[in-house]
Amino acid sequence: MPKLDVAAIETYAKAYAAQLCKEQYAHRDRIDGDTLLRLSPVSQVNLFVVRDLYDVWKETATAFRSPYFNFESEEVKKALQSFLNTVSKHISVLQKDLEPLLAKATHESLEFLLAPQEYLEGWLRELPDFRLTAENLKAFQKYNRLHKGVISGLSERLGNDSAVYTARAIEWVQELTADASRLDSIPATLDLFASTLPVDEQSLYEKEIPAESDQSFFDQVEVTTAGSSPSKDEYYIATSGISRTESSPDSIASSISTTSAPETALPAPDYAAIPTAPAITPAEDVTASVNDQFSMQPTMLNEKLKEEKPAETLGSQYQHRPISSIHSFISLNHKFIFINQLFKGDATAYHQAIDELEKAQSFDQAKDLMNRVYAPQYKWRDVADEADDFYEIVRRKFN
């Protein structure tokens, strides 16, 4: 299965959201809840927008909390619930506020459509305590319209159990997504997207780079019979790779430049003159964990906490297990956070950075790359929490 091009999907998602908003806001200033459910011909996009609004709605309830009032009182809870229910029936969104939500929902829908296994694995890894519960699954189904056969399969496997560890649930996802009969038709859903903005499925995947030959330059040199020398044509064919049918005098002449620059000897580089970067101190290390910095200052309290530290649970042990790929481990929600917070909204820069970090030979090499290049360029000091999360994921790659 080809790898998704995150930057291409992000570009299309933003263009799709802009086009949809242009059409929907042509004769109105705000969009209400009923219109949201009919906004896009792709129902999954609409439901992801509604889900995100629901999350904001729940946060509104939390914002009312105060240490000076009893919010556990039945009268208060009933009144607050009534208020929130009333608010939910009066959704009113301006274009500038809806467009980024719509772009995120479009991006998420495309990733779920094109790579259901990776999408669902990312969702499972973000669940609290690394457990899939019946409640989690029910909430997911409420806002889901894609690959429903896979989700119903998860529900069947969970059965009457209240919860299962995500490691087991991920195994189920891998088995279920391997069954093509449980998956939706990709072309049919892309046709719905195309009714608003044309989309080419192949443009949403990374282009495959032809693999280089395993042979060395010396292995490619043709062996000639002892005592004989190759003709001019044979020598040219052997060293240029042009076939005999392509090596006519006219074609060869046309492929050779009429002029060539004189060769000049380059002086040997003076490696001693190349300055070396100063060592990075812990205080300057943007990717250093806040906890790591704190632990460098031993105190009686630290020692006490170490003594009282409880044994790791199975869930916490799973959290610290090494990972094989940074790309596949980062869930969609974290991907959006990292793109927006650590790479200033540049999906291409994020994608290239992950590729470079995947190629690092050790954690020290990856850490040096983050310190020297990404941290100063994108001012990671201003988003220390997100940088620390990113640092932890990269560290686990080389654990």
The pLDDT tens digits for 81-115 are 888 888 888 899 999 999 999 999 999 999 999 99
Q: What is the pLDDT of residue 247?
A: 43
This prediction's pTM? 0.61
Nearest to 321, CA basis, from 182, 167, 117, 155: 167
As a whole number of angstroms, the distance between CA 155 and CA 173 comes to 11
As a whole number of angstroms, the distance between CA 279 and CA 390 comes to 22
Q: What is the pLDDT of residue 40?
A: 96
Helix (H, G, I), strand (E, B) or coil at 151: helix
Q: What is the pLDDT of residue 2?
A: 81
- pLDDT, one tens digit for every residue, the chain (399 residues): 688 998 899 999 999 999 999 999 999 999 999 999 999 999 999 999 999 998 888 888 778 788 888 888 999 888 888 888 888 888 999 999 999 999 999 999 999 999 999 999 999 988 888 899 999 999 999 999 999 999 999 999 999 999 999 999 999 999 999 999 999 999 999 999 999 999 999 999 988 765 555 555 556 555 554 445 455 454 444 444 444 444 444 443 444 344 444 444 445 544 444 444 444 444 444 444 434 443 344 444 344 434 444 444 444 444 556 677 887 778 777 888 888 889 988 888 888 888 888 888 888 888 888 988 898 889 898 888 888 889 888 888 887
Q: What is the per-residue pLDDT across 137-180, written as a single tens digit (0 to 9) for each?
A: 999 999 999 999 999 999 999 999 999 999 999 999 999 999 99
In the numeric block, which tokens belong to residue 272?
Answer: 């001693």
Q: What is the pLDDT of residue 315?
A: 43
Q: Label residue 199 left, alpha or beta by phi (over 0 means left) and psi (-120 to 50 means alpha).
A: beta
Q: What is the pLDDT of residue 172?
A: 96
As a whole number of angstroms, the distance between CA 332 and CA 347 comes to 12
Helix (H, G, I), strand (E, B) or coil at 388: helix
Strand ranges, E, within the chain: 30-31, 93-94, 131-133, 163-165
As a whole number of angstroms, the distance between CA 54 and CA 58 comes to 6
